[in-house]
Amino acid sequence: SCKQFPTGPIDTTSCDFETVESVNDALYTHLHDLVQTPFFKYFRVDLYRDCPFWQEHGLCMNRECGITTVDEKEIPEIWRAAALSKVEIPHKDQLHHLPGCYYRDSDFCFLDDMSEGDYVDLTLNPERFTGYTGPSAHRVWSSIYEENCFGVSHFDTLGAFTEEEEAKTCLEQRVYYKIISGLHTSISTHICYDNFNQSTGEWGPNLQCFIDRVASHPERLEYMYFNTVLLLRAVARIGPYLSAYDYCGGTGNHETDPYTLGELNSVINIAQNVGKFDEKTLFRGPNAEILKEEFKQHFRNVSRIMDCVGCDKCRLWGKVQTSGVGTALKILFELDEKALDPKLNHNLLSRSEVVALINTLHRFTESLHAVNEFRDMWQREETAQ
Ligand code: FAD
């Protein structure tokens, strides 16, 4: 059964798997072009903060774990200045500061203090197999699942939510779990798709890796679609704001601006048709505010756990993606229509939040694209037998 495409409605959305499949090629192509543009490829990140939860963490010495940083001078000054301006550093009353990072009440993740950190060209540091594994990687995943999943632990169990688990958990808890598990699935898909074969010394897709980690757990695959729809809904909601954003970066290079905007508008257009997730169904009951606060606190913890990932490249993408998902959650659950109006609130999102959101959506569409390639490989292998 794990060879089948998932079909029918995607749980907790008004979208189905077939619809996502039908747009994913176009979506992936536009996003793939978009993330190569100067605005979207440079990301500022502090990769060298201490792990706040435990003392030591393994350091990955593999060459593939390393990243290349960019000399700050290559970054348009306006983006550097913006990183230090009030856009990034909110008003003191709303600011919860910890060494090297902070969050505002509305944030679902800790954000890096923009006075620290390096610029990274994300296109030069693709997410793929690095060889990071063992107790350090497992400790990070297990603390994400076991400590931050409201007690919903699927760790080392197979299958989707059982009836008993459904009865014991609320919708918000299940959504939370799907987000985390879907993110884990997407990371695993990238590892298997851009995999290093130690016996041949070659890079390429590793079908068995994909079968073991993803395809033999159909619910994991489903959660990846779920995450894609959730991110698309966030992009659809923030669409007018994104269309009004300045992508030129004050470089005077206006040629990049219409191109970036054109690609982005194509993505927003698809998002408006496919991002059918109704955020209003969550956080409605009598304990809604408490539950939302708990949800935020857990997700913020996950963003901090990224400082415990013992491989620079994995940490980079872990930070980009938790920040991207956190931005989507903020757009869905914290901002009303008035706040989303670009004329009234042109400083709503920082540049790094916009970059993280789009790059995270790109990661998920790339994973779905890889899933199709794996299905073709599987088919070819079966035919050949
Ligand atoms: P793991 O992926 O470590 O999973 C541990 C356990 O979690 C499994 O035994 C299983 O019971 C459960 N599990 C697995 N997948 C799911 C799921 N989708 N939903 C629910 N439960 C699940 N390695 C790289 O090579 N490149 C990277 O870019 C990279 N990025 C990483 C980013 C982060 C934030 C972390 C924590 C690790 C990263 N790693 C990366 C390491 C990688 O994720 C694995 O930990 C490693 O490859 C070992 O894999 P594993 O098969 O032992 O299982």
Question: What is the predicted ipTM?
Answer: 0.99
| Alpha-carbon gap, residue 51 to 3, rounded angstroms | 39
CB distance 177 to ligand 1 below 6 Å: no
Catalytic residue among 51, 60, 65, 314: 314
In the reported structure, the alpha carbon of residue 158 is separated from the centroid of ligand 1 by a whole-number distance in angstroms of: 15
Is 314 designated active site?
yes
Within 10 Å of residue 19's Cβ, how many Cβ atoms? 18
For residue 180, give the ligand 1 atom closest to its CA. Answer: 19
User: Tens digit of pLDDT per residue, the chain (385 long)?
Assistant: 556 778 899 988 999 999 999 999 999 999 999 999 989 999 999 888 889 888 765 677 788 899 999 998 888 777 776 555 444 455 555 667 776 777 778 888 887 766 678 899 999 999 999 999 999 999 999 999 876 666 555 544 445 677 777 766 788 888 999 999 999 999 999 999 999 998 999 999 999 999 999 999 999 999 999 999 999 999 999 999 999 888 876 554 545 578 888 999 999 999 999 999 999 999 988 888 888 998 999 999 999 999 999 999 999 999 999 999 999 999 999 998 888 888 888 778 988 999 999 999 999 999 999 999 999 998 888 888 7
**Threshold 0.90, pTM exceeds:** yes
Q: How far is CA 50 from CA 98, 103, 117, 304, in A?
A: 12, 17, 13, 10
Q: Nearest to residue 170, comparing CAs of 184, 193, 152?
A: 152
Element (H, E) at 143: helix 135-148
Strand ranges, E, within the chain: 42-45, 69-70, 95-98, 101-104, 111-112, 118-121, 195-197, 202-204
Is 311 designated active site?
yes
Closest residue (by CA) to atom 50 of ligand 1? 133
